[in-house]
Structure 1
Amino acid sequence: MSTVNTNGVLPLAGRVAVITGASSGLGEATAELLAARGAKVALLARRADRLDAAVARIEKAGGTAIAVTADVTDPAALDAAAARVANELGTADLLFNNAGVMLAAPVTDTRHDQWQRQIDTNIAGLMNAIGAFVPQLVEAAAEKGVADLVNTSSIASQGVYPNFAVYSGSKAFVSHASRNLRSELGALNVRVAVIEPGFVRTELQGHVTEPGAVAWLDDVFATQVVLEAGDIAETVAFLAQQPPRVNFQQITVMPTFQAG
């Protein structure tokens, strides 16, 4: 849904946003909302068919978007994506760093494959996107007075969840790295924010195969009113629409029922 300012201008007109993990869930919802608010958006993920469908919806609604097929675990692919965004949309001034994976298993199962996948995507992938797009954010901030880096963490970064040690640890990295990045980039007028959602209805819980964790998640999503992807999209838009002097460095968004 678009929200027009009193002067008739969409609130994110003139912004160029990059969204990783944009083929579903939080990324897809955020791309569509930011486009509706006037931003040009680059949707980045691995699933080309899903990206193309999302871009088609955005364009049908009158927005501007491109699909960029890339894997965040590949630094060269992200560098190429950054060059394409600059050439086709202009200098990126908003990065929603959202790609991630959630897997669960008892540590005694020694699932090295799961551990590595989460580290590669949630930690290395986050930093690969930052490395590729922060130069553009800094350039845009120098020109416009503000740019935004918004990272997706999780309430798991604060809590203790059996069988989710590596996932929770990877999200703790995202939250703490974001605070440190703010100390570097704030002086350059690049705002850094981290969003820590509680339970959100997305594909993420579908990654989990460990029986105990599956049963726990299925029960929560069947019996409780959880967040929707659009709730987090609204949070990203809220952050981007603040005056340049305002930086919400950390936002925890929880379903009303969820205590921790």
Structure 2
Amino acid sequence: MNQATQLSGRVAVITGASSGIGLSTARLLAARGAKVAVLARRKDALDRLVAEIEQAGGTAMALAVDVTDQASIDAAAAAVLAAWGPANLVFNNAGLMLPGAIEENKLEEWSRQIDINVDGVMRIIHAFVPQLKQAAEQGVTVDLINTSSIAGQYIYPYFAVYSATKAYVSHLTRHMRVELGQKNIRVSMIEPGIVATELQSHVTHQGVLDWLADAARNIEFLQPEDVAEVVGFLAAQPPRVNLMQVVVMPTKQAN
């Protein structure tokens, strides 16, 4: 199948779509024929993305959503359903990384990461799994793809809370695949290594900043487009194929 029509007929929802991996994935899925609903807090950035996609001949809608607010997510889910029918490809991608030493006792930062990386993931699942189930009952290919991290597998100083949230996402995905696979809903997770995104701009801990600077001198970081290609690959598999876990690493990153 021609890449330009590879995902024709798919109704895709992408969270964290205003930058980084989410933005790149929206561009890629739209270029391959999917209708793309882009969700994030920054409506101005989403509007620019939609304009870009439409200018290139794609179909997209911008929905301002805060993944810490179930009502805003539910409103977005209703908007997708009303415009295009049930979503059949959900990329559950919004996330926050605020590394720091546990002894600093930054409870607010811990809570923010948990609220977005764990509870936010669950809120999207709550809003969109009914649509995924409806789409599967209609006989179309259906995907729920969660963004985890290699940090969910390995131990990194100062990343305890972030890593724990990503370990949650990874283990949740394994369990959900067992349940939802029986309903013809594929469930996958992507566990990237270091990706050049704005997540790193949120880092303030000096030890982490030094580590990132050293890594940048020795490793060519992944680009958001690299991870977007993986999302496109997962979604384009035959319905019988579910790649549950994909680890994507920079070639020179050991762990």
* Range into which the TM-score falls when normalised by the shorter chain: over 0.9
Quote the residue 1:208 is aligned against.
203
Shift of 1:77: 0.9
Contact 1:85-1:91 within 8 A present in 2 as well: yes
Deviations 1:107-136 (A, max 9, x none): 000000110000000000000001001100
Moved more, 215-224 or 136-145: 215-224
The answer to whether structure 1 residue 133 and structure 2 residue 131 are counterparts is no
Which of residues 159, 163, 175 in structure 1 aligns to 2:154? 159
Contact 2:7-2:236 within 8 A present in 1 as well: yes
Work out the CA distance in 1 between the residues paired with 2:12 and 2:151: 26
Q: Secondary structure at the match of 1:124?
A: helix
Which of residues 221, 226, 229 in structure 2 aligns to 1:234? 229
Shift of 1:219: 2.5
Quote the residue 1:142 is aligned against.
137
State the identity %.
Answer: 58
The answer to whether structure 1 residue 83 and structure 2 residue 85 are counterparts is no
The answer to whether structure 1 residue 196 and structure 2 residue 191 are counterparts is yes
Shift of 1:146: 2.5
Amino acid at match of 2:132: L
Which of residues 2, 5, 16 in structure 2 aligns to 1:4? 2
Amino acid at match of 2:224: A
Contact 2:39-2:63 within 8 A present in 1 as well: yes
Moved more, 142-151 or 46-55: 142-151
Q: How many pairs are equivalent? A: 255
Quote the residue 2:87 is aligned against.
92
Contact 1:145-1:189 within 8 A present in 2 as well: no
Shift of 1:180: 0.5
Shift of 1:224: 1.9
Work out the CA distance in 2 between the residues paired with 1:200 and 1:220: 11
Contact 1:181-1:192 within 8 A present in 2 as well: yes
Moved more, 115-124 or 202-211: 202-211
Shift of 1:214: 1.2
The answer to whether structure 1 residue 23 and structure 2 residue 18 are counterparts is yes
Amino acid at match of 1:97: N
Work out the CA distance in 2 between the residues paired with 1:212 and 1:89: 47
Which runs of structure 2 are paired with 1:60-71 in the superposition (5 Å)? Answer: 60-71=55-66
Amino acid at match of 2:15: T
Quote the residue 1:244 is aligned against.
239
Amino acid at match of 1:168: S
RMSD: 1.1
Contact 2:39-2:64 within 8 A present in 1 as well: yes
Q: Secondary structure at the match of 2:144?
A: strand
Amino acid at match of 1:216: W
Quote the residue 1:121 is aligned against.
116
Q: Secondary structure at the match of 1:227?
A: coil
Shift of 1:222: 4.0
- Identify unmatched segments of 5+ residues in structure 2: none
Quote the residue 1:219 is aligned against.
214
Contact 1:105-1:164 within 8 A present in 2 as well: yes
After superposing on structure 2, the runs of 4+ consecutive aligned residues of structure 1 that deviate more than 3 Å are: none
Work out the CA distance in 1 between the residues paired with 2:5 and 2:217: 37
Work out the CA distance in 1 between the residues paired with 2:124 and 2:91: 10
